[in-house]
Amino acid sequence: MKGRVYVIGTLDTKETELRYAKRMVEKAGAKAVLVDVSTMPHAGRADVSAREVARFHPKGELAVLGLNDRGAAVSGMAAALSHFLVSAQDVGGVLGLGGSGNTAIVTAGMRALPVGVPKLMLSTVASGNTTPYMESSDVAMMYSVVDVAGLNAISRKVIANAAHAVAGMALNRVRKAKSDKPGVGITMFGVTTLCVTQIREKIEATHECFVFHATGTGGQSLEKLVDSGLLDSVIDITTTEVADYLFGGTLPCTDDRFGAMIRTGVPYVGSVGAADMVNFGARETVPAKFADRKFYVHNPQVTLMRTSPTENQAIGVWIVERLNHMKGPVRFLLPLKGVSAIDAKGQPFHDPQADAALFAAIRKGWVAARNRKLIEVDAHINDPAFALEVVKQFKSITP
């Protein structure tokens, strides 16, 4: 049975518009449920009340309702809605309507859902910077044109279009084809492209390869797909986002890097690709505190800073702590002759001492377990020998 479309908004200010949206969803043939995420008392009635949603907050409804601080109330309701939607078993799609506050609440709940669940946010702020609302999820945002403040000749059409769109998505779900190969997510950077290309060519006959550029968002997208059950395994060659996270680069991961693999236990093969660099913008944008460091100008918009032995040690400590929490099959490989194209012998970032600090930190922190193996390869990360070992270890832990 197909799930229901959850129409979500603040009934204290948008009740008329939300009820109209629900009617349009149902008129299009989908079942709908109206969910209230108001943070202030009101007389309207929804299928799911704001109090019911608020009770899903980890600290209870008092962390959401009755607060004098509207910002705290909005944040609290966003957290509560996220837990509420994840707990629901019949979400066939989500439609949100509103302004900035409601958009912040509803899109937080949308992002908590797996990729592939239809998500459409009709919003007054959809024409601006939507990154904070979408992040790495497949949230669709639609500009409301006029404010969501009453029904009129324009708002009726726009709201109805949004309702029909999400109803259509909910009623016409794309199912996995029997011919689909197991999906593997692979992380890559320009300086590890040769490695990833060799790996991909060796496994693409049996696996569908999804390559993610390690730009912060790329790693988050990979992990979102893992959490969504859309990737069966991971070859995480390029973990450079950790360096940017720890040392202020422009392409950082979040503190949840590797979290999807920890939660799901999918087969995981990883390495330390491009851990020799922190990414910045144009040369003149690099913070003054790094003035005496070694740089490589990749292009006019991208400047790379070589990580030091101390920084590499910190990177290794951070990565291995996360690896030790993984319960699924893990193979982590250390390329002893260099971790990126510009870290090879004769290249500008060649620094065996810095690499050694990275490897030593991972060795020292590694907690032995039956499901995890640390493998050292006497090769550069882009050498054929390293790619062959990655493929060998990948095949040893995947069907």
CATH number of the structural domain spanning residue 283: 3.40.50.12030
CA-CA distance, 75 to 124, in Å (whole number)?
19
CA-CA distance, 80 to 64, in Å (whole number)?
8
- pLDDT tens-digit map of 178-224: 668 999 999 999 999 999 999 999 999 999 999 999 999 999 999 99
Contact 327, 369 (CB under 8 A): no
Per-residue pLDDT at 353 exceeds 90:
yes
> Does residue 312 sit in the same domain as residue 376?
yes
Q: Answer with the one of 131, 151, 171 that is the final residue of a domain.
A: 171
Q: How sure is the predictor about 256, in pLDDT bands with cuts at 50, 70 and 90?
A: very high
337 lies in some domain: yes
178 lies in some domain: no
117 lies in some domain: yes
138 lies in some domain: yes
300 lies in some domain: yes
Paired strand residues for 323: none
Structure tokens at 142: 């639609």
With residue 94 as reference, give the H or E element that holds it.
strand 91-98
> Does residue 16 sit in the same domain as residue 54?
yes
Give me Rg for the CA atoms of the chain: 24
> Does residue 160 sit in the same domain as residue 30?
yes
- pLDDT tens-digit map of 33-47: 999 999 988 888 999
The whole-model pTM stands at 0.82
Contact 254, 308 (CB under 8 A): no
- pLDDT of res. 180: 80
344 is in which domain, residue-wise?
A: 183-397
Q: Answer with the one of 171, 194, 225 that is the final residue of a domain.
A: 171
176 lies in some domain: no
Chain Cα centroid distance, residue 164: 28
Query: Which of 344, 349, 352, 351 minimizes the C-alpha distance to 380?
Result: 344
> Does residue 210 sit in the same domain as residue 324?
yes
- pLDDT of res. 1: 41
- pLDDT of res. 331: 98
Give the mean model confidence (pLDDT) for residues 300-313: 96
> Does residue 66 sit in the same domain as residue 155?
yes
Let me know how many helices (H) and strands (E) the chain has, helices first. 13, 14
Dihedral class, residue 253 (left if φ above 0, else alpha if ψ from -120 to 50, else beta) = beta
329 lies in some domain: yes
Q: Please give the residue that has the higher pLDDT: either 131 or 94.
A: 94
Q: Count up the domains in the chain and report the number.
A: 2
> Does residue 119 sit in the same domain as residue 248?
no
Q: How sure is the predictor about 280, in pLDDT bands with cuts at 50, 70 and 90?
A: very high
> Does residue 165 sit in the same domain as residue 192?
no
Paired strand residues for 377: 335
309 lies in some domain: yes
Per-residue pLDDT at 162 exceeds 90:
yes
Quick one: CA torsion of 75, 76, 80, 83, rounded to 10 degrees? Answer: 60
> Does residue 81 sit in the same domain as residue 218?
no
> Does residue 214 sit in the same domain as residue 342?
yes
Q: Average pLDDT of the chain?
A: 95
> Does residue 151 sit in the same domain as residue 191?
no
Give the mean model confidence (pLDDT) for residues 72-80: 95
- pLDDT tens-digit map of 106-158: 999 999 999 999 999 999 999 888 888 888 899 999 999 988 888 999 999 99
Q: Answer with the one of 171, 203, 229 that is the final residue of a domain.
A: 171
> Does residue 160 sit in the same domain as residue 197?
no
Paired strand residues for 376: 334
CB burial of 196-226 (b: ≥16 within 10 Å; e: otherwise) equals bebbbebbeeebebebbbbbbbbbbbbbbbb
CATH number for the domain that contains residue 26: 3.40.50.12020
> Does residue 109 sit in the same domain as residue 214?
no
CA-CA distance, 188 to 196, in Å (whole number)?
7
The H-assigned helical ranges of 58-137 are: 70-87, 100-112, 131-134
